[in-house]
Structure 1
Amino acid sequence: MYKKIMYRENGIERQGACGYFSNWNAVMSTVEMIEMNEGCVVTDILEWRDENETN
Structure 2
Amino acid sequence: MLTGDTVEIVDVDIDVVAVVLPAITVTMTAIVVMIIIIVMMMMVMIVVISVDAAE
Q: TM-score, normalised by structure 2?
A: 0.14
Greater Rg over alpha carbons, structure: 2
Q: Which has the higher contact order (CA 8 A, sep 6+)?
A: 1
TM-score (norm 1): 0.14
